[in-house]
């Protein structure tokens, strides 16, 4: 059984490199651009996968849905440009992820912890093999994540209850501040 966050598969049937391109170091972006479309809310997005070494032999891997800058409202595009120092016309999904808030929704994560030997070292070959297996699992499970898109967007992304939809609404300029919006929802007993 291969698992990434809440999604599992019996077998690996997709290779990571067939689905994702390396963007930067340990950050990857889907080759495919996805589109969400419903009355009053349309945007393009990609999935980004990141691997972060937390400690010797311990890795945190994260899958995020990232709204593409071309789908952002002008004000939010300008904010990302000012925050990252990248011209508005050159912004991409990595810049949205760097800002880490509006339009960037965590869909899943997995911790990978490998045992150290008696000298406190971790075999790099074992690390790479386990990360490769995890990458292929993500590639195989990506269609399930996308099929459960609404479920992941409905989930809170913080302790206040901000949802993925709140982050997208902020990116689109439909609400000013996703955090404040979620706080007001809490004050009203959870209703928008």
Helix (H) or strand (E) holding 69: none
Residue where the block lists tokens 């919006």:
181
Q: Cα torsion for 142, 140, 158, 72, to the nearest 10°?
A: -30
Which residues are paired to 41 by β-bridges? 38
Q: Which domain holds residue 96?
A: 2-157
pTM of structure: 0.90
Q: With the CA atoms of 96, 98, 102 and 104 taken in that order, what torsion angle do they form, in degrees rounded to the nearest 10?
A: 80
With respect to residue 55, please indicate whether it lies within any of the assigned structural domains: yes
Q: How far apart are CA 177 and CA 73, in angstroms?
A: 13
The answer as to whether 190 is a domain residue is no
pLDDT tens digit sequence for 124-145? 888 889 999 999 999 999 999 9
Number of domains comprising the chain? 1
**pLDDT per residue over 25-54, tens digit each?**
899 999 999 999 999 999 999 999 999 998
Residue 66 β-bridge partners: 46, 104
């Amino acid at each position: 059984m291969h698992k990434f966050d809440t999604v599992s598969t019996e077998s690996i049937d997709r290779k990571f490199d067939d689905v994702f391109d390396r963007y930067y170091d340990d950050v990857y972006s889907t080759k495919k651009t996805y589109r969400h479309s419903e009355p009053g809310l349309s945007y393009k997005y990609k999935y980004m996968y990141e691997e972060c070494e937390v400690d010797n032999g311990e890795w945190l891997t994260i899958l995020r849905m990232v709204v593409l800058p071309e789908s952002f409202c002008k004000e939010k595009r300008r904010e990302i440009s000012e925050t990252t120092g990248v011209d508005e016309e050159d912004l991409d999904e990595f810049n949205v992820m760097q800002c880490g808030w509006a339009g960037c929704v965590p869909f899943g994560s997995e911790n990978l912890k490998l045992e150290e030997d008696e000298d406190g070292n971790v075999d790099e070959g074992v690390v790479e093999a386990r990360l490769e297996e995890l990458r292929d699992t993500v590639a195989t499970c990506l269609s399930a994540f996308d099929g459960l898109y609404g479920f992941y967007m409905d989930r809170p992304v913080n302790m206040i209850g901000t949802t993925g939809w709140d982050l997208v609404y902020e990116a689109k300029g439909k609400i000013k501040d996703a955090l404040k919006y979620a706080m007001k929802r809490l004050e009203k007993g959870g209703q928008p």
